[in-house]
């Protein structure tokens, strides 16, 4: 399925303060490593 990010609490308040409209999440992994990239977007 499509990855998603649920933001709550202090992080949610910070995003509201920054007026973030969208979050983009990308996940990738190999047998040894994993990476997550989050892009915050204001329109």
| Rounded alpha-carbon distances, angstroms, from residue 5 to 2, 28, 31 | 10, 15, 23
Q: What pLDDT is recorded for position 35? A: 98
* Local confidence band at 2 (pLDDT 50, 70, 90 cut-offs): confident
Q: Is the pLDDT of residue 3 over 90?
A: no
pTM: 0.74
Domain extent listing, the chain: 9-41
Question: What's the alpha-carbon Rg for the chain, to the nearest Å?
Answer: 13
3-class DSSP assignment, residue 27: strand
Lookup: tokens for 16: 């509201």
């Amino acid at each position: 399925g499509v990855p998603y990010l649920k933001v709550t609490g202090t992080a949610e308040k910070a995003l509201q303060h920054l007026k973030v409209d969208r979050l983009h999440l990308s996940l990738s992994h190999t047998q040894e490593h994993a990476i997550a990239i989050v892009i915050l977007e204001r329109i």
